[in-house]
Amino acid sequence: MALHVAIVTGSRADWGLLAGPARALADRGLRVSVIATGQHLGPANTLEAIRQDGFEPADTVDILLAADTGAAAAKAMGLLQIGLAETLGRLAPDLLLVLGDRYEILAAVSAALVMRIPVAHIAGGDITEGAMDDAIRHAITKMASLHFTTTEEAAARVRAMGEPAGRVHAVGSPGIDRIRATALLTRDETFAALGLPPTPKLLVVTFHPVTLSDSSRAELAALLDTLGRLGPEFGLVFTGVNADPDGATLDRDIAAFCARRPNAVHRGSLGSRLYFSAVAAADAVVGNSSSGLYEVPSFGKPTVDVGDRQKGRLRASSVVHCAPTRDAIAAAIAQALAMDASGAVNPYGDGRSSARIADVIAAIERPRDLLRKPAGDAP
């Protein structure tokens, strides 16, 4: 009988990274069940993105609450554990495949752990000192039985946490696979799809809550103030905000900023093709999203990384870091616009991550054996 792999996805963004491994697993004859939760069931209703990649969600678990507080996020985790207990019990997968460091994924992995379903984790071992994601990611690592890291450095960190070396595979980021597989729109098509009048210059902006501090709104205000001082030759494309504490508040602030400016648009979910096309057309990407470090260097475009949310993450030479203040952001944008990033080398792989992940999983003969982990070597 074919190995049955369940995949939990909480947003269009993480599905963009999971779609490649899901397709590679299915192409090798494995049974794949996609479970959608989180922002997939929000106003943007991004379930269609999963269907467009050839997968009908096996189940959905609605956890979105009206509030965007830490208490609401904690309650959402509880709702997801309850819902997934039923879903995983019904689907009875041999393995749960997850990606990253979202609180939804921590809840999913916790459910799988006590249900004795082995977990394979993509992107463990990374560092983001400015967000609670760091603690979540490392907790998932210890609950997972199989690890697919984006870099050799991340693999070394996972082994240093006591994970057995034979269970740790440095495969690169599946986000680069997605770029290689995507047919991009032309610049004119991109502006039309965004609903943005063509401008000589374009910035793509993504800003998420800084979850280890109360400074998110002040940092966003500094960024918006800086962007608002740019001339009309700059088009501004804002992507959606994560469903983290303060996320809805930041989303409203961005929407209000864009409503006052004909050269700015706010799109909750661009999807992979339009997002990648916007990056390819852009002069720089600005904000605090991991995409600016993981994927943007593959386009030969500069990234302005604002604040400490991504502090500690490996970065290409095309990434300019700055403090979350108006003057620092303005200086970093000027530096990025003057930069030739076409020769930047992306440290997150060669675009063949999905095949490597699928090959390892397809070779598993007794998935339950993964639940017992031999002790790794002491660092």
pLDDT in tens, 21-54: 999 999 999 999 999 998 888 877 789 989 999 9
> What's residue 269's pLDDT?
81
pLDDT band at 211 (very low <50, low <70, confident <90, very high): confident
Residue 349 has pLDDT above 80, yes or no: yes
CA distance 164 to 129: 25
pLDDT attached to residue 375: 76
Cβ density class 290-313: b for 16+ within 10 Å, e for less: bbbbbbbbbbebbbbbbbbbbeeb
Task: Please check the confidence at residue 379 and state whether its pLDDT lies above 80.
Answer: no
Q: Is 60 helix (H, G, I), strand (E, B) or coil?
A: strand
For the chain, list the strands marked E by DSSP.
Answer: 4-9, 31-37, 59-61, 95-99, 119-122, 146-149, 168-170, 201-206, 234-239, 264-267, 284-287, 303-306, 319-322
pTM for this prediction: 0.90
Q: How confident is the model at residue 376 (pLDDT cuts 50, 70, 90)?
A: low
**In the predicted structure, residue 12 carries a pLDDT above the cut 90:** no
Assigned token pair, 49: 């993105």
Going along the chain from its start, the domains and CATH numbers come out as 4-173+349-371 (3.40.50.2000), 185-337 (3.40.50.2000)
Q: Which 3 state secondary structure label does DSSP give 169?
A: strand
> Is the pLDDT at 321 greater than 80, yes or no?
yes
Euclidean distance between CA atoms 85 and 79, whole angstroms: 10
Mean pLDDT over residues 164-192, rounded? 96
Please state the rounded mean pLDDT for residues 59-65.
87
CB 165 within 8 A of CB 175: no
Contact 164, 244 (CB under 8 A): no
HSE, CB side, 13 Å, CA atoms: give it for residue 355. Answer: 7
| Nearest to 59, CA basis, from 39, 77, 35 | 35
- Which one-letter DSSP state was computed for residue 123? S
What is the separation, in whole angstroms, between the first and last Cα of the chain?
39
Question: Is 330 in contact with 323 (CB distance < 8 Å)?
Answer: no
In degrees, rounded to 5, the angle at the alpha carbon of residue 177 between the alpha carbons of residues 174 and 181 is 145
Expressed in percent and rounded to 5, the helix, strand and coil fractions of the chain are 45, 15, 40
Contact 338, 349 (CB under 8 A): no
pLDDT at position 242? 83
CA atoms of 228 and 151, how far apart (whole Å):
37
* Residue carrying the six token digits 């720089």: 284
| Residue 194: predicted pLDDT | 96
Compute the Cα dihedral for 345, 351, 353, 359 and give only its sign: negative
Q: What is the pLDDT of residue 225?
A: 98
Higher confidence at residue 344 or residue 39?
Answer: 344
CA of 343: how far to CAs of 289, 298, 317, 318, 334, in Å?
22, 9, 9, 9, 19
What number is the average pLDDT over the span 50-67? 89
Alpha helix (H) ranges present in 53-146?
70-91, 103-114, 133-143
Q: In the predicted model, is pLDDT for residue 66 greater than 70? A: no
pLDDT band at 73 (very low <50, low <70, confident <90, very high): confident
Q: Which of 278, 260, 281 is nearest to 269 (CA)?
A: 278
Question: Over 90: is that where the pLDDT of 64 sits?
Answer: no
For strand 146-149 and strand 59-61, is the pairing parallel, antiparallel, or unpaired?
unpaired
Partnered with residue 24 across adjacent β-strands are none
pLDDT beyond 90 at 133 = no
d(CA 122, CA 130): 20
CA-wise closest residue to 175 among 292, 284, 269: 292
Of 157-166, 207-216, 277-286, least confident by mean pLDDT is 207-216
**Backbone conformation region of residue 209, classed left if phi is above 0, alpha if psi is from -120 to 50, else beta:** beta
Query: How large a percentage of the chain has pLDDT more than 90?
Result: 81
| pLDDT interval class at 17 (50, 70, 90) | very high
What distance in Å separates the CA atoms of residue 225 and residue 231, rounded to the nearest whole number? 13
CA dihedral over 54, 206, 288, 203, signed as positive or negative? positive
CB atoms within 10 A of CB 377: 9
Average pLDDT, the chain: 94
